[in-house]
Structure 1
Amino acid sequence: MWAHERGLCLAVAKSGSAFWALRYSTAAGRRRLMTLQQYQPIDAAGLKALEWQAAELRKVIKAGRDPLAERDADTAATATAATTVSRIAVDTFEEVARDYIAQHKDGWKNAKHLQQWENTLETYAYPIIGKLLPHEITTDDVLKVLRQDHERAGKNGTLWTGARETI
């Protein structure tokens, strides 16, 4: 570890990765090492910016607060909020697909297109990926849908090779 000024240092982890950090003690006497940024060669202006950041953090420490604990709490709160929002705001693939059909059916040339969309998704997609959230669907999930057994005109194959294209 290379020490610079009043706790600002270049630290090297056991893994060999280096980072700029601030070493300090809390009001309770607990020693802390707060990562400021991953190591990169910096010029005088970059070092001055790190020194300024360390000086601001020392003000927080002097006020009796622990900036690392505060940052960790902020990160945890942000992650919890993002998880909560994603659980509330995201519909399943089936819900999104049904909504898409409802919004676009008036623009299709005839009622048969509506029936084709609904029947194809109901038969092949919903049983496999219908309950998944759209952002959770992987390439493997799509391949499961396309590689399903499919029979047409007495010929067996997969949905991908045997189904007719619908425009």
Structure 2
Amino acid sequence: MNTTQSKNRRPLTAREVETLGRGVHSDNRNGLYLTVSNPSKGNSKGARSWIVRFTSPATKKRRVTGLGSADVGKAGSLSLLDARERAAEIMRLVRAGIDPIEAEKAAAEAEQVQQKKQAKASMTFGAYADKVLADIKRQFKNTKHQKQWEMTLRDYAKPLNDIPLADIMQDDILGVFKQVPKSEAKRGGSRVLWAAVPETARRLRGRLEDILAHAKADGYRTGENPAALTKDLSVRLDRLNDSVKPSKGHFARLDHDKLPAFMTALRTREGNAARALELLILTAARSGEVRGAVWSEFDLDAAIPTWTMPAERTKSAREHIVPLSKQAVELLRGMQPDPTQRLGLVFPGKPGARGVSRPLSDMTLTVVLRRMKRADITAHGFRSTFRDWAGDETEFAHETIEASLAHVIRDKR
């Protein structure tokens, strides 16, 4: 659009700001000009705006910067007095050797940097952990591994979720492992996470370390990683192992990460009692169910070998069918008597007065543990070991795990 500049040598008036026609009109001070465009259907007087012309102190070239609308009554528009004040500020910068356009750009960039800093400073662990999981999904070898990450963070990292990444300290990490997990609390126990489910806790610590390492790489943190297994964190975590003992009245159990070594030692021992304890562990059955088992309850030749306990031999008074693992089948096959004797007890005790075998006594499994110098655990506690393993290391629903233990799931409605 071709415009003409007014040749008036006096300052503009407020009335002229509203009424002057198309063109560029000087206020004759501080490089301030009113620009008026052609009238339009929506604006019969033409759109009006303020500009300031100045010579850049750096390049000595003429430059123009806009101040905003001059349309009277329009939201955000500048009055003549406001425009003059803004123009005077700009010219003060020019006289001081500062290019106001470059200064405005620098200020905007500084504001963006500040906003990014504030955003990073306010990024919480929970929000960032979700972001990291979304970014590294392709690195997981299988969906089970991914779900284990998600489960441990969801169930155990809650104390960190609302803490800004930059503020997380070693005490916050330690606080995660001082929690009493739900599985422990349901049994009435009070062991903390690090002591109650050590394998899961160790994996969780590594995952926290990974997330905080990503946070440092992305600029959300500086300094040392508080979840890294440094000597001082290792010492503080080890102290948690003996900080709380199991509550009285609950069966002491073996942590599931220690079970493989225990089974290796158990298999070196001879006798029916040792084999009975081995089957108890492999099936998560009760002591009385194992000691009273008879060969007719087992079907080792089926496509899925099973042990069917009749209702009269179960605590719930319901028939309970246990699918047998490969190890359990091998154990039983190694003990099977000749076909004519496959109706009696699987683990017979000493013969009675008439020469009839009786079940092992309820103390025989405890004696095995004592001879193995493991008086710190109980036979019944291996059911808790199973529950902890299934809850921490598998994705099976709580109801499925309880059904595996022949627990009756009551309707809570």
TM normalised by structure 2 equals: 0.22
Larger % of strand: which?
Answer: 1
Q: Which has the larger Rg? A: 2
More helix by share: 1
Could you tell me the TM-score, scaled by structure 1's length? 0.47
Q: Which has the higher contact order (CA 8 A, sep 6+)?
A: 1
